A and B are shown apart, each in its own frame.
Chain A
Amino acid sequence: MPEPFLLKYIHEPDQGDLDAYVSRGGYEGLRRALAMRPEEVVDEVERSGLRGRGGAGFGTGRKWKFLPRDPAVTKYVVVNADEGEPGTFKDRTLMEGDPHRLIEGIVIAGYAVDAHQAFIYLRREFHRARAVLERAIAQAYERGYLGRDILGSGYHLDLVLATGAGAYIAGEETALLESLEGRRAMPRLKPPFYPAVKGLYMQPTALNNVETLCHVAWILARGEAWYREQGPPILFSVSGHVQRPGVYELPLGTSIRQVIEAAGGLRPGRAFKACFPGGTSSAILPAAYLDTPMDYDLAKLDVYGAMLGSAALIVMDDTACMVEVVARTVEFYRDESCGKCTPCREGTVWLSQVLDRILHGKGRPEDLELLDGIARGMTGTCFCPLGESVPPAIYSSLRFFRHEYDHHVRTGHCDVKTAVQV
């Protein structure tokens, strides 16, 4: 298995210090990029096969190609650092542990798409990441990796750290742009508002996630051929009932079972019950799927809504009550719904009411069909991915854990809790 590189330096004591970064070959990727033509940088990223690590998995090089080349058009780079998908924490880890890697990736992206202004939209709760980034950005300016005439190339780029204010929906890219313009974070209609064409201030914008840009820095430093030999690697955020929750760098296509093993396996004496392979917006999978590879083909499973997403594996052992987990998941989307469209705004409230009723021993036999019906009403009808994130948990839990719902409805009790809390 290839050596992890994305995580290689995140535990160094000199986290984020520029000299340490440079002494390990940092900013070599930028040097190389600046010696190439911008189009060649885009081509190299495209050939590397890198796909966006924010969840949608779109080819990064291809995305950059949608930006017009016309030098008269102002373009921007925007970094989505508003990580908030439950179970995901890799971007925060990268920013806190290796901030110059992100800055290097941003400058390379800016050069590739011909932008002179970049913004990091940083989640407000990331106080540590903010402090680390502020220092790193100041150092980068001082030493000519940002600002005017970067490394004597004649290229200039300014980088501003902007702030979120607590709204999960701001992680959706068009909602993020609204927020960055000083408005409520409500998604825009796309088309026509694909950020690459009409993004920040209606100008073409390269909008990338933190992990994606860290990959870009490595690709330019070592070359796309080397990068492709690495797997490609992907960062898994593993949490829930594993012995060593954390971020793990493993090749794309590692099986769910192997990812769990990398995270120390289950707690002693406990059996695997279920997992969200790609954060709470993906389907819940039972043990039968443990050998499924974690790759973009996950979405081809016959389970509606199984996907890699942001590669957030949440593991549940036999102490987890599926009805409770699903109810909590729906409650999250209910509270974070921006309210713009009816299926999401009403559907999440209604699902939540039904699930709470079941959870509190007041469920009715027909509630199971009702849950399925509400989820159907939301499928394909919501304006943005937030609303569409809800049905997978409902469909998959009704399919694989129907007996738990049945038990709750029939007896008014949770057999998991009674079995465990002795």
Chain B
Amino acid sequence: MRLSDAARSAIVRLAGQFPQPRSALLGALFVAQEEAGALHPEVVAEVAALLGLPASEAAAVASFYHLYRFRPEGRHLIQVCTNVSCLLNGCRAVLDDLRRRLGIQVGETTPDGRFTLKTAECLAACEAAPVVMVGPDRHGPLRPEQIGEILERYA
């Protein structure tokens, strides 16, 4: 798997924004992840080469952060916040409901490849607790009875 020219030039552009190109690493890894579906070793190596880094360095950095994935996931990532404010406002019921509806456990992907379910730490949206993010969208305060309708919006 190789990155497209568009992705490669996006990474070069990012690198040009910083006094030291290495500073673009986090953003560049997201560019690669979005295109390749996951940070496969050869994609990480390509990103590293574009930024003039050893591949092992880029891989070590990627493994530190929660939002990178190394295996492909579903089309839509569901993140259920389980931190204190959401806990106090019933995130357990929301998570249980999602598990039941999707028929999967936390960390798994539905067989049709539509959703991956994960828990998250505080999403800095505690005023809307319990909060769930589906892809880039924030939903909350969420009652279990609203979940079905929300999921339908994501094909």
A residues with a Cβ closer than 8 A to B are 83-89, 91-92, 117, 123-128, 160, 162-168, 179-185, 201, 237-241, 245-247, 276, 280, 312, 314, 316, 320, 324-325, 328-329, 332, 335-336, 338
Contacts and interface: CB of A to CB of B under 8 A. Distances in A.
Contact of B51 (A117, A165, A182, A247): A182
Contact of B24 (A88, A168, A182): A182
Contact of A86 (B85, B89, B127): B85
Given A125-B133, A166-B65, A182-B51, A241 B26 contact: no
B105 to A, nearest CB: 18
B127 A246 contact: yes
Interface stretch (B107-115, B117-125, B147-155): B117-125
A124 B66 CA distance: 10
A328 B61 contact: no
Interface in B19-41: 19-20, 22-27, 29-30
18 contacts: A86-B85, A87-B122, A125-B79, A127-B137, A127-B138, A160-B17, A164-B26, A166-B68, A167-B66, A180-B23, A181-B22, A181-B23, A182-B51, A184-B64, A237-B126, A320-B88, A328-B83, A329-B84
Given A83-B124, A117-B19, A124 B88 contact: no
A117 B16 CA distance: 13
Contact of B61 (A180, A184, A240, A247): A184
Contact of A165 (B30, B60, B89, B125): B30
B121 A314 contact: no
Contacts of B83: 86, 280, 328, 332
Nearest to A165: B65
A57 B88 CA distance: 28
Contact of A239 (B29, B65, B85): B85
A382 to B, nearest CB: 19
B129 interface: yes
Contacts of A160: 17-18
A183 B54 CA distance: 13
Given A86-B122, A164-B26, A237-B127, A182 B87 contact: no
Contact of B84 (A128, A246, A325): A325
A166 B67 CA distance: 5
A378 to B, nearest CB: 20
A325 B23 contact: no
Contacts of B124: 83-84, 88-89, 91-92, 123, 125-126
A329 B26 CA distance: 28
B35 to A, nearest CB: 16
Given A127-B137, A165-B65, A325-B87, 5 more contacts: A84-B122, A86-B85, A166-B68, A182-B51, A184-B61
A247 B127 CA distance: 8
B44 to A, nearest CB: 13
Given A91-B124, A240-B89, A332-B121, A165 B24 contact: no
Closest 7 CB pairs of A and B: A166-B66, A182-B25, A165-B65, A166-B67, A239-B126, A127-B136, A182-B22
Select the residue from B87, B124, B136, B138 with max chain A CB neighbours within 10 A.
B124
B16 to A, nearest CB: 10
B82 interface: yes
Contacts of A92: 124-125
A164 B27 CA distance: 8
A325 B91 CA distance: 13
Contacts of B128: 245
Contacts of A338: 64
Nearest to A324: B87
Given A201-B20, A336-B121, A184 B66 contact: no
Contacts of B30: 124, 163, 165
Interface string B3-22: 00000000000000111101
Given A164-B26, A181-B22, A239-B85, A335 B121 contact: yes
A195 B89 CA distance: 38
Nearest to B83: A86
Contacts of B87: 324-325, 328
A181 B20 contact: yes
Contacts of B82: 328
Given A167-B64, A314-B84, A239 B127 contact: yes
Contacts of B66: 165-167
Given A87-B126, A124-B30, A240 B84 contact: yes
